Amino acid sequence: MGHGVLGRLASTLRGVAVESAWLAAHAALYPWGATAERLHPDGPYVHYRTDAMSPRARGLLVSAMDAAGTPILLLHGIGDNRSVFTVLGAALRRRGFGVVHAVNYSVLTAVTGDVRTAASMFGEQVEQVCELTGSDRVHVVGHSLGGLIARYYVQRRGGDERIHTLVTLGTPHRGTVAAYLLPTGLARQLRPGSQLLAELDEPAPGCRTRFVSVWTPADQIVLPQSNARLSHPDLDIEEHCLRDVGHWALPVDSRASRLVADCLVRVHDRPSERATSGYKPLRTLPYTHSDSASSELSS
């Protein structure tokens, strides 16, 4: 028992150290992230050369071209910008995903913003990416508020036609009591039991988007932490719990990066496509699964 307690304490201290180091690095990167990222619609395949790619990236392109070619949009959280995805974006590109694009929304959203408006604006960005890349669908990874904005777009703005898979990292799906600290309209939408969250609880029959919810019991922003777990009878949801990592470090955690990449490789792991393709979802992720739709990850 003593070794178990010491191991858990050491793991927790590592998590605190990683969180602190990332916050310091993020502060330095933040000004750079305020600028818009230029979209490269052809990714690394514009010249149809694979010799410069790593073996793993080349393997993804050869064995899962559909996965490699589906654009991935990264959507940050409240008061943040695309710099939060510096590590995750690089990891996805190394894995072989061709188009990985981080989008910004106004930093003033925290004060003057509204999830519904942000979702509509995000929908416009999705359409632009689809037009530029020629793709009819995208994947989205949303951190914190970004996940909620993307979810609203999927459920309330018809975004399930465009978004194949939505991965949420530390998203307050059921609100957070921390939102009571801010007297803004957006903060009121993030409080447990808000009208906006009630909208998301409404029936969503036939929703075509696959959801992957990643949460952590060490979250300092989503309180209680279990409110980051997504539950809805009409949604196809896969859940993962990452221990010993804080809210801000989720996008830079190496386990989260592997998890996101592995989930996005499985492009056929969606009900409508499983039924018609005969595809059997991969369950060979480097994690221990408690059941077919959820897992708990630790260091």
pLDDT of residue 289: 35
The ranges of the chain with pLDDT < 70 are 1-36, 40-64, 107-108, 110-112, 268-299
- What is the radius of gyration, based on Cα positions, of the chain? 18
Token pair 């150290």 is found at 17
Residue 250's closest CA among 217, 277, 204? 217
Token look-up 């818009």 returns: 36
pLDDT of residue 67: 81
Residue 191's pLDDT is: 98
Region of residue 86 (left: phi > 0; alpha: psi -120 to 50; beta: else): alpha
CA dist 224 and 231 (Å) reads 15
Q: What is the pLDDT of residue 141?
A: 99
Interhelix angle 86-95/55-63, nearest 10 degrees = 70
CA distance 262 to 281: 11
Q: 94-140: per-residue pLDDT in tens?
A: 999 999 999 998 766 766 689 999 999 999 999 999 999 999 999 99
Q: Which helix (H) or strand (E) holds 154?
A: helix 145-156
Long-range contacts (CB closer than 8 Å, 24 or more residues apart) made by 289-298: 293/237, 293/238, 293/239, 294/238, 294/239, 294/240, 294/241, 295/239, 295/240, 295/241, 296/240, 296/241, 296/243, 297/240, 297/241, 297/242, 297/243, 297/255, 297/259, 298/11, 298/242, 298/243, 298/244
Please give the single-letter amino acid code of residue 299: S
Query: How confident is the model at residue 48, as a pLDDT?
Result: 42
**182-204: per-residue pLDDT in tens?**
999 999 999 999 999 999 999 99
pLDDT of residue 1: 52
Contacts of 61 (CB under 8 A, 6+ apart): 45, 50, 53, 68, 96, 98
Identify the structural domains of the chain with CATH numbers, from first to last.
2-297 (3.40.50.1820)
Residue type, position 137, single letter? R
